[in-house]
Amino acid sequence: MSGPSPSGETVPSGGAGREISRLPIVLRDDHHRIPVHELLVLLGSDPGDGLTTDEARARLVEFGPNRLPRLSRRGPLLRFALQFHQPLIYVLLGAVVLTIMLGQIVDASVIFGVVLVNACIGFLQESRAEHALEALVAMVETDTTVIRDGTHRTIPASQLVPGDLVVFQIGDKVPADVRLTAVRALQVDESALTGESVPAAKESIELPLDTVLADRRNMAYSSTLVATGEGRGVVIGTGVDTEIGKIHRLVGRATSVVTPLTRKIARFSKLLTAAVLVLAAVTFAYGVARGEPVDEMITAAVALAVGAIPEGLPPAVTITLAVGVSRMARRRAIVRQLPAVETLGSTTVICTDKTGTLTQNRMTVRTMIARGRRYERSADGFTYDTARVAAIDDPGLERLLICAACCNDARLADDATAERSSGDPTEVALLAAARDAGMPVGEVRARRPRVDVVPFETARRSMATLHDEPSGARIVFLKGAAEGVLALCERAADGTGVPAAFDARGILAVVDDLAGAGLRVLAFARRASVSMDRLDEAGVDAGGFEFLGLVAMADPPRPETRGALETCHRAGISVKMMTGDHPATARAIAVEIGLVDPDRPVIVSGAELPTQDADELVRLTESTDVFARVSPEQKLRLVEALQSQGHIVAMTGDGVNDAPALRQADIGVGMGGSGTDAAKEAADVVLTDDNFATIEAAIEEGRTVFDNLTKFIVWALPTSMGEGLVILVAVAFAATLPILPLQVLWVNMTTAVVLGLTLAFEPAEPGLTRRAPRDPTGPILSRELVARMALVATLMVIGAFGLFEWELDHGATNAEARTVAVAAFVLIELAYLFNCRTLTYSRRRGALLRNPLVPFGVAAMVGLQLLYTYAPFMNSLFGSAPIGLTAWGRALGVAILVALIVSAEKWLRRPRTGGEVDVAIGGAESA
Ligand code: ATP
C-alpha cells in the first residue's frame, strides 16, 4: 500500500523499498516535527529491523560514505606564494635587484632560479607533511552500532546511510544526524557544534517546527558526544548533509604543522637572520670605508647573508616531525596533536590503566561461587568437587548465571551466522561461562525482556537491570564490584530460594583471596518481585538485594608488557598503574609484570587518597606505583600532583569520564580499540592496539625525533657559520673572496636537501633508552654541542681559505681555486654528516647502512658536485672550473681531517663512568 506522505511524495507504507531512492527527506528541515512512525516510512526503514543489507549498500552508493571531505586550509596557489614569505627569500630577491642594477643578468637569473626551486621544494615538502597528518586522522575511524536485517552489528561509522537505525551510549560519538526514537537518561555534549559545554538533555518527543537547532531535544547531531545514558534513533543525514558538515564546508579543517618547537626554532632563525643582515651591512660599510669597490662589497655582503642565514632549518623541523609521526603510526601510535611528538620524548611518568593496556583484555571465568559451592573451570565446562556440573543441576548456580546473562549488554559469538562476540570483555566472559555451564543464554535472555537499565559506570562500579520474569513478576539484577554489591544485600539465597544467613565479611575474605590470585571478581545479586516501571540509581541504592554469588575471571598480562616496563625503567621513566580494579587484583598483576617489588608492594587504594592535604598527595604519588579502585576524578588529581613536581605525564584512559584527566596530562593516550570516542577525542595520541608497549615505542620515537632535529641543527649551523666567516675574514684582510654569492647558494641548496634531510630519517641512537628524559624547558643544544659547532665552523674556514690560497699560490686561476674551496665545503659537510649521525661517541660501528637514505644522499651529492665542476653550462652559470685529481685529493684530505678531529673531540668527551658509552644529548644530564 502506498500513500501520500506529509511532504507530498508517494512512498510505500513500510519496509525498505528502492522507490525511496534519492530521498528528498535528507534535505528537509523538519525532522524534529514529523512523528517518528511517519519519518520511518519516509525513510523506508523498518522500525524493528532497520534497513536490509542490500538497501544499505545501494544507499551507500547513492549518498556516499558518511564522512566529511578533506578540505585544505589554503589553496595550493596561496601556499606556493607563502613560500616566498621568508627572510632568506627577501634577501635573495634583494640580491636579484642589486645584481640587475650592476648589470649581471646571468647572476640575477641564477639567483631567481634558485628562489623558484627553493619555493617548489618547500611547497612539496609542506604538502607531503600535511597529507601525512591528514591520512593519520582518518586512521582513527569510529565504529558504530547499527540495526540492519533485524540484528545489531558494529560497522565503521563511515558506512552509515540515511534510514539506518543506530544505537549509542555513554562515551560514543554520535555518528550522524539522528532523530531520536528512544532515549534513556540521554545527555549529549554538543560543544563541537554549539560551543555550549553543558551537556544537553534529550527526549524522544515531537517538537514544533520553529524549534531552533540548539533546542531540538529529539535530535542528536553528528560529532557530538554522549555524556550520559543511551539513545536510539534513525539516521536522517550523513556526511556533508549533517549540521557539522555544513559548518565544515564553511570553515574547512585546519591541519596545523606548528608546534612549540617549530615556533621556537622559527624565532631563533629569525633572530639569526637579523643578526646576519646587520653583520652583512657592517661588512659592506667597513669595506667601502676602506676604499674597496662598491660592487665587490655588495657581492661580499650578499654572499655573507646568503651563506649565514640558516634557511634549511624551519623546513627540516617540519619534515623531521612528520617523519616521526609516520614512524609512530607504523608502530601503532597515531598522533592527533603534532606537539605530542615533541612532548613524548620528554615524558617522565606514564600513568596507565591495567585492563586491556597492561593485560590482554581477554577475560575467562575461572571460578564461580554460588550458595557456598565453588565451581572451577575445567577443559570442557565447570566442575564442582571434580564432577562436571551444568547450571540446571544446581538452582543456586542457575540463578547466578541468569543474573549474569541478563544484567549484561554483550553479545556472544554465533558460529552459525559467523557473528563475532561484541561488548565489554568482562560481560562476554560471563556469557561464555553461562554457555559453558550448559545454559541456553539466548533463550534465558529472551524470556526475561529488559524493562530498564542503570548502565555500568566506572564511578559506581556496578550495573543493574530491570526485567519481566516469565512468571510475570518484575525483578532487578545487579552485578559489580563486591564491596558495593554486598553493601546493598541483606540476605543470601539458599538452594531452594529460602532466605539464608548472609556473612558479608566472610564473602569479602573470599573475594580478597580470589583477587590475590590476580582474578577480577564480580558479585551478583537480585531483588525479586519489585513493583517499579523504571529503574534509576536511587532505586538500586535503596538496597534490599539477595546475594547470589561471585564470579572470578582471569585476564593475563600481555606478553610484551614486562619488557616494555623494563625499558621504561632503564630510560628513567616511572610507570604508575591506575586501575578501577580491586587492590589485591592490581597487586597480583603488578607483581606478575614486574612493576612492583614482590616483597614490598606499595598499593594505595582510592579510598586512602588524602582529599585535603596536597603535600601528602604529592608524597603518595611519588612513592606509589599502583593505585587501585581509583575514580576518574582521582586520576585527574594524581596527574596534577605529579605535574606539580615538574613531571611530564603521559596518561592512558578509555572511559568517558577519563577525558578531563587525558586533557590535563601532558600526553593524553586514548585507546583505539576499546576506548570510548569521548576519550579518543580528548587524547593527543591514540594507540591502535591499546597496548602499553606501544606507549613505550612512541616515547622512543619521540626521543629519536628530537635527536634527529638536534643532529640537523648541529650539522647545518656550522656550515652557515663557516660560509659567513669565510667572507668576513676575506673582507677583513682585504683578500679575494674564496667563494662567490652564487657558489654559496649552490652549496647551501644542494647540501641541505641532498645531505641534511637524510638526518630526519636516522633510526634511534644506540643507548636511546638508557638515558634520562629530556628536560623540555632546557636548551635544545648543550654547551658541548655549541662548542663542537664552533670548532667545525672554524675548521671549515681554515680548510676552505687555506686551500683557496694554496691553489692560488700554486698557479690556479681564481675560478679553479674557488672550485676547490667549494669542493672543500661540500666534502667537509659530507664527512661531517657521518659525525652527526650519532651525537656522542659510540663504539658501535658498522651502522652506516642503518639509514638507507645516506648512501643515496652521498652518491647524489658527489654527482651534483661533478656536474658543478665539469659541465660547461654550470661553469658559465656559477663561475666554476674543472679541477685536477690532486686538487680533489687535497679537498678530500681536509674533509677527512675535519671528521677525524670531530671524532677525537667526541671521544675526549665520552663519559668515563664505564659501562655503556652513551650520554644524554641536550638532555637532563647535559643541560
Ligand atoms: P582499568 O581499565 O582502569 O585498569 P578496570 O577496567 O579494571 O580498570 P573498571 O572498568 O573501572 O576498571 O572496573 C572497575 C570495577 O568495576 C571492576 O573491578 C569490576 O568490579 C567492576 N566492573 C567492571 N566491569 C563491569 C561491568 N561490565 N558490570 C559491572 N561491574 C563491572
Q: Is the CB of 580 under 6 A from ligand 1?
A: yes
Q: Is the CB of 480 under 6 A from ligand 1?
A: yes
Residue carrying the nine cell digits 518481585: 529
Which residue puts its alpha carbon closest to atom 20 of ligand 1?
Answer: 481
Task: Tell me the CA–centroid distance for residue 308 and ligand 1, in Å.
Answer: 60
Q: What is the reported pLDDT for 840?
A: 74
Q: What is the reported pLDDT for 766?
A: 77
Query: Relative to the CA of 358, which ligand 1 atom is closest?
Result: 4
46-63 pLDDT, tens per residue?
988 999 999 999 999 988
The radius of gyration computed from the CA coordinates of the chain, to the nearest angstrom, equals 35
Give me the chain's average pLDDT, please. Answer: 84
pLDDT of 802 over the 90 cut: yes
Cell of 908: 675526549
Residue carrying the nine cell digits 679537498: 891
Rounded distance between C-alpha atoms, residue 710 and residue 610, angstroms: 43
pLDDT of 251 over the 90 cut: no
480-507 pLDDT, tens per residue?
999 999 999 988 876 555 556 678 889 9
Q: Calculate what percentage of the chain has a pLDDT beyond 90.
A: 39
Q: How many CB atoms lie within 10 A of CB 920?
A: 21
Buried/exposed 506-541: b ≥16 CB within 10 Å, e otherwise:
ebeebbeebbeebbbbbbbbbbbeeeeeebeeebbe
Mean pLDDT along residues 674-680: 84
| Closest alpha carbon to 771 in 348, 352, 350, 351 | 348
Q: Is the CB of 576 under 6 A from ligand 1?
A: no
Task: Tell me the CA–centroid distance for residue 484 and ligand 1, in Å.
Answer: 12
Query: Relative to the CA of 427, which ligand 1 atom is closest?
Result: 27
| Closest alpha carbon to 296 in 98, 108, 113, 109 | 98
Q: Is the CB of 629 under 6 A from ligand 1?
A: no
Pair 784, 720: CB distance under 8 Å: no
Q: How many CB atoms lie within 10 A of CB 421?
A: 15
Which residue puts its alpha carbon closest to atom 16 of ligand 1?
Answer: 461
Q: Report the residue among 354, 355, 657 best suited for mutation to probe ligand 1: largest number of ligand atoms under 8 A from its CB.
A: 355
Q: What is the reported pLDDT for 3?
A: 38
Task: Tell me the CA–centroid distance for residue 405 and ligand 1, in Å.
Answer: 17
Pair 321, 257: CB distance under 8 Å: yes
Rounded distance between C-alpha atoms, residue 426 and residue 241, angstroms: 38
Rounded distance between C-alpha atoms, residue 864 and residue 625, angstroms: 57
Using left for φ > 0, alpha for ψ between -120 and 50, and beta otherwise, residue 734 falls in left
**Cβ-Cβ contacts under 8 Å for 436 (sequence gap 6 or more):** 365, 377, 380, 381, 382
Q: Is the CB of 579 under 6 A from ligand 1?
A: yes
Which residue puts its alpha carbon closest to atom 14 of ligand 1?
Answer: 580
Which residue puts its alpha carbon closest to atom 31 of ligand 1?
Answer: 480
Distance of CA 120 to the CA centre of its chain: 30
Vertex 330, ends 681 and 258: CA angle to 5°?
55
Task: Tell me the CA–centroid distance for residue 407 and ligand 1, in Å.
Answer: 14
Instruction: Establish how many alpha carbons lie within 13 A of residue 454's alpha carbon, considering only the half-sphere containing its beta carbon.
Output: 21
Q: Quick one: pLDDT band at residue 415, thresholds 50, 70, 90?
A: low
Q: Which of 143, 177, 353, 918 is catalytic?
A: 353
pTM of the predicted model as reported, rounded to 2 decimal places: 0.80
Query: Relative to the CA of 461, which ligand 1 atom is closest?
Result: 16
Which residue puts its alpha carbon closest to atom 17 of ligand 1?
Answer: 581
Q: Is the CB of 635 under 6 A from ligand 1?
A: no
584-604 pLDDT, tens per residue?
999 999 999 999 988 877 899
Q: What is the reported pLDDT for 72?
A: 53
Q: Is the CB of 581 under 6 A from ligand 1?
A: yes
Q: Is 353 a catalytic residue?
A: yes
Which residue puts its alpha carbon closest to atom 13 of ligand 1?
Answer: 580
Angle between helices 853-870 and 741-750 (to 10 degrees): 160
| H or E element, residue 814 | helix 814-836
**Cβ-Cβ contacts under 8 Å for 790 (sequence gap 6 or more):** 718, 721
**Cβ-Cβ contacts under 8 Å for 616 (sequence gap 6 or more):** 610
Q: DSSP string covering 413-445, please?
A: -BTTTTBPPBS-HHHHHHHHHHHHTT--HHHHH
Rounded distance between C-alpha atoms, residue 126 and residue 908, angstroms: 40
Task: Tell me the CA–centroid distance for residue 580 and ligand 1, in Å.
Answer: 6
Which residue puts its alpha carbon closest to atom 7 of ligand 1?
Answer: 581
Using CB atoms within 10 A of its CB, is residue 783 exposed (0-12), middle (13-18) or buried (19+)?
exposed
334 DSSP β-pair partners = 686
Query: Relative to the CA of 580, which ligand 1 atom is closest?
Result: 12
Mean pLDDT along residues 703-712: 90
Task: Tell me the CA–centroid distance for residue 634 and ligand 1, in Å.
Answer: 15
Q: Report the residue among 406, 408, 456, 512 best suited for mutation to probe ligand 1: largest number of ligand atoms under 8 A from its CB.
A: 456
Q: Is the CB of 427 under 6 A from ligand 1?
A: yes
Task: Tell me the CA–centroid distance for residue 628 and ligand 1, in Å.
Answer: 11
Using CB atoms within 10 A of its CB, is residue 16 exposed (0-12), middle (13-18) or buried (19+)?
buried
Q: Is the CB of 522 under 6 A from ligand 1?
A: yes
Number of H helices, E strands in the chain: 30, 28
Which residue puts its alpha carbon closest to atom 2 of ligand 1?
Answer: 355
Q: Is the CB of 284 under 6 A from ligand 1?
A: no
Query: Relative to the CA of 482, which ligand 1 atom is closest?
Result: 20
154 DSSP β-pair partners = 145
Q: Quick one: pLDDT band at residue 737, thresholds 50, 70, 90?
A: confident
Residue carrying the nine cell digits 627569500: 89
Q: DSSP string covering 879-893, please?
A: ------HHHHHHHHH
Pair 139, 158: CB distance under 8 Å: no
Q: Quick one: pLDDT band at residue 257, thresholds 50, 70, 90?
A: low
Residue carrying the nine cell digits 596545523: 256
Task: Tell me the CA–centroid distance for residue 355 and ligand 1, in Å.
Answer: 8
Rounded distance between C-alpha atoms, residue 398 and residue 627, angstroms: 35
Pair 920, 821: CB distance under 8 Å: no
Q: Is the CB of 652 under 6 A from ligand 1?
A: no
Query: Relative to the CA of 458, which ligand 1 atom is closest?
Result: 11
Ranking 456-470, 557-571, 632-646, 726-740 by mean pLDDT, the lowest is 726-740
Task: Tell me the CA–centroid distance for residue 587 and ligand 1, in Å.
Answer: 15
What is the identity of the amino acid at 490? Answer: E
Task: Tell me the CA–centroid distance for residue 378 and ligand 1, in Å.
Answer: 25
Task: Tell me the CA–centroid distance for residue 336 and ligand 1, in Å.
Answer: 27
- Quick check: helix, strand or coil at residue 451? strand
Distances (CA, A) of 720 to 705, 740, 869: 23, 14, 22
Pair 720, 800: CB distance under 8 Å: no
Q: What is the reported pLDDT for 495?
A: 55
Task: Tell me the CA–centroid distance for residue 664 and ligand 1, in Å.
Answer: 23
pLDDT of 464 over the 90 cut: yes
Pair 706, 789: CB distance under 8 Å: no
Q: Is the CB of 840 under 6 A from ligand 1?
A: no
Q: What is the reported pLDDT for 853?
A: 85
Q: Quick one: pLDDT band at residue 558, thresholds 50, 70, 90?
A: very high
Residue carrying the nine cell digits 674533509: 895
Rounded distance between C-alpha atoms, residue 38 and residue 473, angstroms: 35
Which residue puts its alpha carbon closest to atom 26 of ligand 1?
Answer: 456
Q: DSSP string covering 75-113, please?
A: -HHHHHHHTT-SHHHHHHHHHHHHHHHTT-HHHHHHHHH
Which residue puts its alpha carbon closest to atom 9 of ligand 1?
Answer: 580
912 DSSP β-pair partners = none
Rounded distance between C-alpha atoms, residue 136 and residue 141, angstroms: 10
What is the identity of the amino acid at 364? Answer: T
Residue carrying the nine cell digits 618547537: 261
Report which of residues 51 and 114 the model is more confident about: 51
Q: Quick one: pLDDT band at residue 841, thresholds 50, 70, 90?
A: low
Which residue puts its alpha carbon closest to atom 24 of ligand 1?
Answer: 426
What is the identity of the amino acid at 442? Answer: G
Report which of residues 126 and 236 the model is more confident about: 236
Rounded distance between C-alpha atoms, residue 727 and residue 298, angstroms: 12
Phi, psi (rounded to 5 degrees) for 528: -85, 165
